[in-house]
Each structure stands twice: as structure tokens, then as C-alpha cells.
Amino acid sequence: MSNEQLTIIVPIYNESENIQRLKDALSQYFQKASVAVKALFVNDGSSDGSLEKLKSICKNSHCFDYISFTQNKGLSAAIKAGFDHVNSSLTGYIDADLQTDPEDFELLLEYIDDYDLVTGNRNHSRKDSFTKNMSSKIANGIRRAFTHDGMDDTGCPLKIIKTEYAKRIPMFKGLHRFLTAMIMLQNGKVKQVDIQNYPRLAGQSKFGLWNRLLGPLLDCFVYLWMKKKYINYQIQEKS
């Protein structure tokens, strides 16, 4: 993947019903993209046949690669594993449910030269239930109060990060909720861009009220501890 400018990480956990749609949507975007792009599927211990479908896709196309966990480890672990395995200069992230459109990566790419992370903002076009929308709004408010990152939709599953910054993000459960804040801890510049949001057409959401509200609140205290202990450095010279 070293020749690609953008590698899109796609965490997969029991998304068998979405995988063909996902492959088609990504393939369509690859043909239009303004940069060279590949996708890296991260199979998070799926038990519904997702892995077999991913193997078939990757076997028949050089635009797709995959890595697979031995067991389910969660979204944060899947994203971190993706960061660890990417070699392109830019790293993208999108969820497998296609509630965001891969073609909207083009909106983010317009700003990536001047920023170190560009993230989507779905709030103007959310197509989720009232309960999901409200819980997400509350969770975003809680995170914003703790991190002061200025983001309206920190959990948006459409992001582009300069890979050198992504690789310096430490591993911890809940990191997917703090990607913007973790770039800011590195003195990186961040920006949000309005994107479209679509209803989930297949498969089941992996998040409910418990892990949309209580989980993020607990993770905020972990973030505060990490912020206090975080070591940031810059190399001035080397031989």
C-alpha cells in the first residue's frame, strides 16, 4: 500500500449483509477519487461469514486488503490496528454501514493540505431515530466539554488523518471517540466539514444507549488522565 496516497480503514464486525454494497460503493469512489486510494478492511472477529466475503473481495481486486483479528476486540482496536498497518501518507476511516458516503472523502481532501485531521459533521442531515440522535447529541456535548475540541460531531465515521499523526495515537478503549482530541494533543490542526448522512439499510447497529452515553462519559475521565500524562516531542536535529 506504500504507493497509495490514501488508505481507507473499514472496521468490520458482523456486517455480512453490507459487504457487497460496501465493496460497490468504495469501488465507485475509487474510479472518481482525486488521489490514489485503497481500502483496508479490519475484520473484528466477525462470526456471520463476513471474513469469507472479505477474502473473496481482496483476492479479486488489488484495491482491497484485509487483516483479521482472532476474536472480537471492539471498534477502537480495529481502528488502531488499521493505523498500525497503513503505509500511505493519508489514512481515512469509514464505517461499514454506509451511513456516510465514500465520495464525501473528496470534501475532506480539499482541506487536508492545511490540516492534520479533517472530519465530517452529520448533524445537519442526520437520518437516525430520535433516541439515537438525542443520545449522540448529548454524548458529543459531554466530550466537547471535556476535550474543548470544538467539534459538533466527534463520533462521525468519516475522517481523513495524516498518517504520521494517526500512528502516534496511543491504544485505549474508546479512542474512536477522541481521534480529534488526540490529534490536538499532538499540536495538530483539525477541521470539520458538513457531509451527508443516510439511514442504515442492512445489518444492526453495534451501539445502544449504554455505550453512547455512559461509555463516552467514563472514557472522558480516561482522556483527562491521558492528557495530563501525554508526552509530545519534536525532533530538532538528527544525524
Please give the pLDDT value at position 79. Answer: 95
Q: How confident is the model at residue 1 (pLDDT cuts 50, 70, 90)?
A: very low
Q: How confident is the model at residue 60 (pLDDT cuts 50, 70, 90)?
A: confident
CA pair distance 79, 20, nearest whole angstrom: 21
Please give the pLDDT value at position 159. Answer: 97
Whether residue 225 has pLDDT greater than 80: no
Chain-centroid distance, C-alpha 80 = 10
Q: What is the CATH number of domain 6-229?
A: 3.90.550.10
Residues ≥6 apart with Cβ < 8 Å to 113: none
Section 213-227 average pLDDT: 71
Instruction: Look up residue 132 and give its three cell numbers.
Output: 439515537
| pLDDT tens-digit series, residues 106-142 | 999 999 999 999 999 987 665 555 556 666 666 666 6
Please give the pLDDT value at position 15. Answer: 94
Share of the chain above pLDDT 70, in %: 80
Task: For the chain, give every domain's residue range.
Answer: 6-229
Q: Looking at beta carbons, which pairs linking 134-139 to residues 24 or more positions away fall under 8 Å?
A: 135/209, 135/212, 135/213, 136/212, 138/213, 139/177, 139/212, 139/213, 139/216, 139/217
Give the position of cell 468519516: 158
Section 208-215 average pLDDT: 58
Please give the pLDDT value at position 21. Answer: 95
| pLDDT tens-digit series, residues 148-178 | 777 778 778 999 999 999 999 887 777 778 8
Across the chain, mean pLDDT equals: 85
Section 180-206 average pLDDT: 83
* Polymer length of the chain: 239
Choice between 146 and 196, residue whose per-residue pLDDT is larger:
196
Buried b / exposed e along 159-198 (16+ C-beta atoms within 10 A): bbbbbebbeebeebbbbbbbbbbbbbbbebebbbbebbbe
Whether residue 144 has pLDDT greater than 80: no
β-strands 158-162, 90-94 pairing? antiparallel
Whether residue 209 has pLDDT greater than 60: no
**Residue 202 CB neighbours (<10 A):** 15
Choice between 53 and 215, residue whose per-residue pLDDT is larger:
53
Please give the pLDDT value at position 2. Answer: 44
Axis-axis angle for helices 130-147, 215-229 (nearest 10): 20
Share of the chain above pLDDT 90, in %: 59
Contact 154, 140 (CB under 8 A): yes
